Chains A and B, each alone.
Chain A
Amino acid sequence: MRYLIIGNSAAGVFAAETIRGLDPDGQITMISNEDCLPYSRCLTSYYLGNEISEEMVYIRDKAFYTETGIDFQVGYVVRVDVDSKSVLLDSGEKVTYDKLLIATGSSPFNPPLEGSGIEGIFELRTLDDAKAVAEFALKVKSAVVMGAGLVGLKGAHGLHELGISVTIVGSAPQVLRHSIDVESAEILTRRLEEDGYRVLLNTKVTKVLGEEDADGRMSVSGVLLNTGEQIPCQMIIRAVGVRPNVKLVSDSGVSVNYGIIVDDEMQTSVKDIYAAGDVAEASDLLSGEKSVNAIWPSATEQGTVAGCNMAGVKRKYLGSLAVNSAVISGVGIISAGLVNLPPGEGSVLRAYEPNKNFYRKFMIKDGRLVGMIMVGDIEGAGILSGLIRKRAKVDPNYLNKMLVNPIEYPGYLPVERGGQ
């Protein structure tokens, strides 16, 4: 059996390891345009901020490819040819497969921006990006980070660690719009400001301002905001959003909506072609609808499920649960499931102690926990995300108690299994 995996990151690595575990003799080829050991892009901001060494960014050690018997090839896949069961590399080489996994992840998406063709504007997706930012940051005093999502905040943190004064500009009314609610966002914004960040919400960068340096090259000197304010800076990180890397399957017959649509075995509309990770559009655990859930744990889980099925062991994907964990200015925040309930639906439990940076919010619908946010004391968060995942009926008394007390495993409390 010839397995081909495109992408050597979270989804790809977990799939490959799963396949190797189930099919010791299968031939596994892994292709990526990133010529390095598998690494965690989540750690690029830690690397940037000098909190960890480059070595620590890698999630597998040097022996990974040889020990698992994976044939690793560097290359960029231009096209998937469904009929000949092969992929075409940018080098012109063709690689055939019996089973294919597309784990190409996503790429930063940057809407057009006036003045952006000059030096000092960066993205933060790859290790190379991080290295470039780190190198340029040496000569920078202040920076603007566009985007107040997870990547934006983590990037801002990295720069802040280097002693750079950072302004975060977000178009939404709050930070981490997709993963937390307004109240918890306020705590984080306050903490960020206490730590010396400037956080501008409901704000857009309309133009990049540049000036000529000694060598006659144009480089960033500031940004102009929609408010009319000009912020001087020598560097910009653009982190406003990502798009799945689906180009390689366009016109191939593989169905694509936003990402590549997969069934609950992670198989695409075309037999023997699977997709997992940031590139895949799988069903959501709570709504059942297809969506892209671009987070590390979903990528690894989807990779594992895809790997199983590719190796012939049937395994169902239970659906993605949106979970996020971040430590922002020393305050831990974890969310899972829905972070807001539509008005009139279900009930919400909330506890807030501003001076302790303590916040908890539980979303309950039909007697089930469907979402939670914990700020500050996050110990035991997995117990609650587990309850969401199980879609079990949960005793409201238990939740009321957990709102302000250390989270305890419900153990023998009446918990009824729900879901299908």
Chain B
Amino acid sequence: MRVQKLFFISKRCDGCRACEVACLEKHSQSQSIFMTKMEQPSPQPRIKVKRPGNQYWATVCQHCTDSMCVRACMTGAMQYSPEGEVFHNTNKCVGCWMCIMVCPFGAIAPLNEAKKASKCDLCKDEKIPPCVASCSRQALFYGTPEEYEMKVAGD
């Protein structure tokens, strides 16, 4: 199992939220950042940058190995991929918010109009996730935990 996921390197982030914008556009129906607000149901960014203390913090799915949301999901919508990432099948989702109730990172957002949960899907159809590509300060890293340790954590 090689789980590739997003790592957030707080000290590099300057809170520009370009990642949110990139994510929002990617997950919009129209593929247009300018139309997202008017879309029905309107999409939500699946990564959110906040400043809870004196540093920025990106809220994004951690693709936990032992995921609370997979266990809490009462429809089977939250599932592991063969690689071990946590995937959300929106077709199955009924919007009961059980996953939101348990995700300790607050990384799942309720789409109230659509009655569907929404969270990072790692944009598997892209070379690298758009949020990562959008970050001019390399505060987001996409890779396996080992790669992260090797390439980033040491610096």
Task: Please give the distance in Å from B63's CB to the nearest CB on chain A.
Answer: 15
A42 lies within 8 A of B96 (CB): yes
Chain B interface secondary structure, helix, strand, loop or mixed?
loop
* Nearest opposing residue in chain B for A304, CB measure: B71
A36-B129 Cα distance, complex, nearest whole Å: 40
**Known contacts A325-B97, A383-B103, A409-B52; can you find 15 more A-B pairs with CB under 8 A?**
A40-B76, A56-B92, A58-B76, A59-B76, A296-B72, A323-B101, A324-B101, A334-B97, A382-B68, A382-B69, A385-B101, A386-B104, A386-B105, A409-B105, A411-B52
Q: Which of B72, B92, B106 contacts A407 (CB 8 A)?
A: B106
- CB-based A-B contact count at 8 angstroms: 123
Task: Please give the distance in Å from B3's CB to the nearest CB on chain A.
Answer: 15
A90-B12 Cα distance, complex, nearest whole Å: 65
**A182 CB within 8 Å of chain B:** no
| Chain A residues in 8 Å Cβ range of B106 | 379-383, 407-409
Task: Please give the distance in Å from A153's CB to the nearest CB on chain B.
Answer: 13
With contact pairs A412-B52, A412-B54 given, residues A332 and B104 touching in the complex (Cβ less than 8 Å): no
A324-B98 Cα distance, complex, nearest whole Å: 7
A361-B59 Cα distance, complex, nearest whole Å: 23
Tell me the A332-386 residues at the B interface (CB within 8 Å): 332, 334, 336, 378-383, 385-386
Task: Please give the distance in Å from B110's CB to the nearest CB on chain A.
Answer: 6
Q: How many residues of B contact A (CB 8 A)?
A: 35
With contact pairs A52-B94, A381-B101 given, residues A411 and B57 touching in the complex (Cβ less than 8 Å): yes
The interface of chain A, by Cβ under 8 A from chain B, is 14, 40, 42-43, 46, 51-52, 56, 58-60, 296-297, 300-301, 304, 323-327, 332, 334, 336, 378-383, 385-386, 389-390, 398, 407-413
The interface of chain B, by Cβ under 8 A from chain A, is 10, 50, 52-55, 57, 59, 66, 68-69, 71-72, 74-76, 91-92, 94-106, 108-110, 112
With contact pairs A382-B105, A383-B106, A409-B50 given, residues A43 and B74 touching in the complex (Cβ less than 8 Å): yes
* Nearest opposing residue in chain A for B71, CB measure: A300
With contact pairs A60-B76, A300-B71, A325-B101 given, residues A408 and B94 touching in the complex (Cβ less than 8 Å): no
A42-B95 Cα distance, complex, nearest whole Å: 12
| Chain B residues in 8 Å Cβ range of A300 | 71-72
